[in-house]
């Protein structure tokens, strides 16, 4: 974990209520895809945990949806402005078990961490397939970015405006894959849990106090004992989760 | 040169900064960030006789200038704290630590305190009397002078180390409870614990926290805490550990002027994990600004 001041270099709307922000600063504390950062927003007491979409030696890409006061303020920031950010939080995805043909499933704002993960899997010589689930056409983002990585990409929309009509599991049930990784809302997780035929990893969300394991605000029970979503997660393996 | 040293129940502290229980774990998360030996000491995660998972989530709600938590004393139980957490704590912290203890019966408190009292690294027992008494109709021990005194008396009988009673602010008359604890043999008083609070989500139209209510902490509660420290200082002759909304060196000085011999920092650790280090580093400059050369000299100075 590293606390630093990060400078915004880009902050633009990429879909309905969804923004892409790039910040510049020390990224050495990021050790895995699927980790998150915790952003101090002026005037608000608690930091805002946001998953990392992608990062390199000096920049972090964050994609967030405006859902409340914190993300609302974030969306008004312009390049040159700064944030106090805690970087390198959580465990992230472990790609060791992915096999050759992993399936990546992102739902809504669960899509962003799938991008960094996809990039990593491709770099490791694997052939990821990606399912991106949205409600409707104007919510869709990053389809082309995933395709540019060389992944096979399926889009589902609940209203059928783009791609397969329905849910991510409507595509998942007909695919073959060696392992799966997912991030998204709880109803999607439950549907995946009922559909999946391999092991996999789920990235969970919870209301957090600190984001680094001190306050026990986001604890959950697992088959391997109590875990803190922020520190021992947010990624949990399918085998340990108690639904 | 300014002097940051203070003392608490006969033990010296290099400075008055003490991260509060429940905001600092057992120290090692923070030891990854800085050398926690710069702290006066710290109060470790509230420990109970048996292991507790605590309350369902969500356990946290944001407020203006503060937060509400209803963690529910999640901890592995005193045996595991001693066998697993204290050895790890010892690797990163070489000073005496404050053991924070909770219980749901007088017997619980005595059992847990007796075990922790035997641990060499434990310097003080901080007894949290804000928990509900399962044999007393669920009323918190800390809301009645008699119940708080009984816990104090029985813990004192079973232990050798300084016993600091941590008081709840959710009472009509904090002074009478502090005095009852002093008369029952308490070596110190720490206050305040969190204020009972609630937030309701306008979208779901239900309380944000699964437990409905929780403890409100953060900057917003500071004036209440300063007032209570001030009142208790007038009434007792044992040292006071002040806390509630502390996040700056100025806050530390304010609490000491009110009557605190040492100062705990709680919720602020969760927002800025370096806050205690920052306060320790800025304290000399702020002391100089206000013409203070020795922190010990200002304890109770506002009276």
Give the tens place of pLDDT for each residue, A87-121: 999 999 999 999 999 999 999 999 999 999 999 99
Question: Which residue from B57, B60, B269 is facing A214, i.e. has the nearest CB?
Answer: B269
Q: Is the dihedral of CA B154, B158, B164, B169 positive or negative?
A: negative
Contacts of A40 in chain B (CB under 8 A): 271-272
For residue A114, the model assigns a pLDDT of: 97
Chain A touched by B57 (CB under 8 Å): yes
Sheet holding B66-69, edge to edge: B60-63, B66-69, B214-217, B195-197
Chain A touched by B60 (CB under 8 Å): yes
- Best mutation target, A29, A41, A46, to test chain B (most B CBs within 10 A): A46
Q: Please enumerate in sequence order all residues whose Cβ is within 8 A of that of B35, keeping only pairs 6 or more positions apart, or say none.
A: none
Q: How far is CA A60 from CA A15, A184, B206, in A?
A: 19, 20, 36
> At B36, is the secondary structure helix, strand, or coil?
helix
Contacts of A220 in chain B (CB under 8 A): 57
Spell out the domains of chain A, with CATH numbers in brackets: 2-89 (2.40.30.10), 95-199 (3.40.50.80), 204-243 (2.10.240.10)
For residue A37, the model assigns a pLDDT of: 97
- What is the arithmetic mean of pLDDT over A219-242? 96
The answer as to whether B303 is a domain residue is no
- Exposure b/e, A56-68, CB count within 10 A at least 16 = b: eeebbbbbbbbee
Q: In whole angstroms, what separates CA B165 from the centre of its chain?
A: 9
The answer as to whether B1 is a domain residue is no
Under DSSP, the state recorded for B56 is P
Contacts of A208 in chain B (CB under 8 A): 60
Local confidence band at A129 (pLDDT 50, 70, 90 cut-offs):
very high
Contact criterion met (CB below 8 Å) for B100 and B71? no
B240 half-sphere exposure, CB direction, 13 A CA radius: 31
Contact criterion met (CB below 8 Å) for B125 and B113? yes
Contact A207 B57 (CB under 8 A): yes
The answer as to whether B144 is a domain residue is yes
Q: How far is A31 from chain B (nearest CA, A)?
A: 15
Pairing outcome for strands A82-89 and A59-65: unpaired
Contact B25 A221 (CB under 8 A): no
Contact B25 A208 (CB under 8 A): no
**Helices and strands in chain B: count of H runs, count of E runs:** 10, 15
For residue B137, the model assigns a pLDDT of: 65
Chain A touched by B69 (CB under 8 Å): yes
Contact A1 B57 (CB under 8 A): no
Q: How far is A121 from chain B (nearest CA, A)?
A: 30
Question: What CATH code is carried by the domain that includes residue B269?
Answer: 3.20.20.70
Contact B57 A213 (CB under 8 A): no
Q: Which residue has the tokens 């589902």?
A: A156
> At A113, is the secondary structure helix, strand, or coil?
helix
A135 half-sphere exposure, CB direction, 13 A CA radius: 8
Q: Name beta bridge partners: A183.
A: A106, A203
Looking at the predicted structure, is the pLDDT value of residue B134 above 70?
no
For residue B135, the model assigns a pLDDT of: 72
Chain A touched by B33 (CB under 8 Å): yes
Question: Which residue from A44, A209, A231 is facing B69, i.e. has the nearest CB?
Answer: A209
- What is the arithmetic mean of pLDDT over B89-115? 97
Q: How far is CA B68 from CA A136, B59, B130, B164, B248, in A?
A: 36, 8, 15, 24, 20
For residue B130, the model assigns a pLDDT of: 86
Mean pLDDT for all residues in chain A? 96
The percentage of residues in chain B with a pLDDT greater than 90, rounded to a whole number, is 95
Q: Which residues of B are catalytic?
A: 131
Chain B touched by A68 (CB under 8 Å): no
Residues A144-191 pLDDT 10s: 999 999 999 999 999 999 999 999 999 999 999 999 999 999 999 999
The answer as to whether B14 is a domain residue is yes
The answer as to whether B111 is a domain residue is yes
The answer as to whether B94 is a domain residue is yes
Local confidence band at B1 (pLDDT 50, 70, 90 cut-offs):
confident
Looking at the predicted structure, is the pLDDT value of residue B248 above 80?
yes
Looking at the predicted structure, is the pLDDT value of residue B289 above 90?
yes
The answer, yes or no, to whether the previous bond of A172 is cis (omega within 30 of 0) is no
- What is the arithmetic mean of pLDDT over B85-114? 97
Q: Where are the alpha helices (DSSP H) in chain B?
A: 28-31, 78-80, 86-92, 106-117, 145-158, 174-183, 222-235, 249-258, 268-271, 275-289
* Residue A145: exposure state from Cβ atoms within 10 A (0-12, 13-18, ≥19): middle
Q: What is the CA radius of gyration of chain B?
A: 18
The pair of structure tokens assigned to B10 is 């006969």
CA distance A185 to A39: 21
Residues B195-230 pLDDT 10s: 999 999 999 999 999 999 999 999 999 999 999 999
Instruction: For residue B66, give its domain range.
Output: 6-298
Q: How far is B24 from chain A (nearest CA, A)?
A: 5
Looking at the predicted structure, is the pLDDT value of residue B136 above 70?
no
Contact A219 B270 (CB under 8 A): no
Q: Where are the alpha helices (DSSP H) in chain A?
A: 69-75, 112-123, 143-148, 168-172, 186-195
For residue A190, the model assigns a pLDDT of: 97
CA distance B21 to B27: 10
Contacts of B54 in chain A (CB under 8 A): 216, 219
CA angle B59, B166, B63 (to 5 degrees): 35
E-only strand ranges, A16-151: 18-24, 36-40, 48-55, 59-65, 82-89, 102-107, 129-134
Q: How far is A146 from chain B (nearest CA, A)?
A: 33
Query: Which residue of chain A comes nearest to B218, CA vs CA?
Result: A45
CA distance B57 to A216: 10
Question: Which residue from A46, A213, A226 is facing B67, i.e. has the nearest CB?
Answer: A46
Contact A40 B74 (CB under 8 A): no
- What is the arithmetic mean of pLDDT over A5-32? 97
Q: Is B291 left (phi over 0), alpha (psi -120 to 50) or beta?
A: left
Contacts of B30 in chain A (CB under 8 A): 214
Mutual orientation of helices B106-117 and B145-158 as an angle, nearest 10°?
30
Chain B touched by A217 (CB under 8 Å): yes
CA distance B238 to A141: 63
Residues A48-74 pLDDT 10s: 999 999 999 999 999 999 999 999 999
What total of structural domains would you count in chain B? 1
Local confidence band at B131 (pLDDT 50, 70, 90 cut-offs):
confident
CA distance B175 to A23: 51
For residue B280, the model assigns a pLDDT of: 98
Q: Which residue has the tokens 């790039």?
A: A22
Residues B258-274 pLDDT 10s: 999 999 999 999 999 99
CA distance B14 to B27: 18
Contacts of B22 in chain A (CB under 8 A): 215-216
Higher-pLDDT residue of B137 and A110 is A110
Looking at the predicted structure, is the pLDDT value of residue B148 above 90?
yes
Local confidence band at B75 (pLDDT 50, 70, 90 cut-offs):
very high
ipTM of the prediction: 0.92
Local confidence band at B138 (pLDDT 50, 70, 90 cut-offs):
low
pTM assigned to the model:
0.94
């Amino acid at each position: 974990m590293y606390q630093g001041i990060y400078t915004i270099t880009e902050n633009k709307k990429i879909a309905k209520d969804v923004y892409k922000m790039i910040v510049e600063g020390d990224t050495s504390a990021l050790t895995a895809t699927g980790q998150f950062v915790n952003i101090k927003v002026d005037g608000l007491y608690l930091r805002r945990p946001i998953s990392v979409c992608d990062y390199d030696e000096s920049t972090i890409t964050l994609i967030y949806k405006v859902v409340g006061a914190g993300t609302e303020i974030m969306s008004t920031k312009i390049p040159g402005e700064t944030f106090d950010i805690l970087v390198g939080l959580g465990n992230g995805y472990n790609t060791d078990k992915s096999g050759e043909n992993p399936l990546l499933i992102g739902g809504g704002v669960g899509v962003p961490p799938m991008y960094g993960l996809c990039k990593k899997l491709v770099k490791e010589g694997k052939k990821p397939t990606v399912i991106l689930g949205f409600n409707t056409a104007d919510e869709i983002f990053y389809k082309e970015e995933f395709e540019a990585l060389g992944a096979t990409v399926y889009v589902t929309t609940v209203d059928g405006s783009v791609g397969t009509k329905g849910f991510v599991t409507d595509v998942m049930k007909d695919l073959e894959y060696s392992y799966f990784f997912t991030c998204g809302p709880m109803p999607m997780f439950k549907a995946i849990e009922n559909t999946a035929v391999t092991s996999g990893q789920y990235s969970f969300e919870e209301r957090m106090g600190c984001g680094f394991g001190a306050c026990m605000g986001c604890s959950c029970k697992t088959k391997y004992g109590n875990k803190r979503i922020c520190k021992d997660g947010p990624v949990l393996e399918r085998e340990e989760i108690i639904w | 040169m300014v002097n940051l040293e203070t003392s608490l129940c006969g033990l010296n502290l290099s400075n008055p900064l003490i991260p509060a229980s429940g905001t600092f774990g057992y120290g090692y998360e923070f030891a990854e960030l800085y050398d926690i030996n710069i702290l006066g000491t710290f109060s470790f995660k509230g420990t109970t006789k048996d292991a507790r998972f605590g309350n369902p989530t969500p356990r946290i709600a944001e407020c203006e200038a503060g937060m509400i938590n209803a963690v529910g004393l999640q901890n592995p139980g005193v045996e595991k704290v001693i066998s697993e957490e204290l050895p790890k704590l010892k690797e990163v912290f070489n000073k005496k630590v404050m053991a924070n203890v909770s219980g749901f019966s007088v017997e619980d408190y005595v059992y847990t305190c007796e075990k922790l009292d035997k641990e060499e690294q434990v310097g003080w027992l901080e007894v949290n009397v804000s928990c509900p008494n399962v044999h007393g109709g669920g009323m918190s021990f800390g809301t009645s002078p008699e119940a708080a005194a009984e816990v104090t008396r029985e813990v004192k009988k079973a232990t050798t180390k300084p016993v600091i009673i941590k008081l709840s602010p959710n009472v009509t008359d904090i002074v009478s409870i502090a005095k009852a604890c002093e008369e029952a043999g308490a070596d110190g008083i720490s206050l305040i614990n969190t204020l009972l609070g609630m937030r309701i989500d306008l979208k779901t139209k239900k309380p944000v926290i699964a437990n409905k209510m929780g403890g409100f902490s953060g900057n917003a509660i500071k004036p209440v805490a300063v007032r209570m420290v001030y009142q208790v200082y007038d009434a007792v002759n044992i040292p006071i550990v002040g806390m509630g909304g502390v996040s700056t060196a100025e806050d530390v000085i304010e609490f000491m002027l009110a009557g605190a011999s040492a100062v705990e920092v709680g919720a602020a650790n969760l927002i800025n994990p370096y806050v205690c280090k920052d306060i320790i580093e800025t304290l000399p400059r702020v002391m100089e600004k206000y013409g203070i050369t020795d922190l010990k000299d200002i304890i109770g100075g506002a009276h």
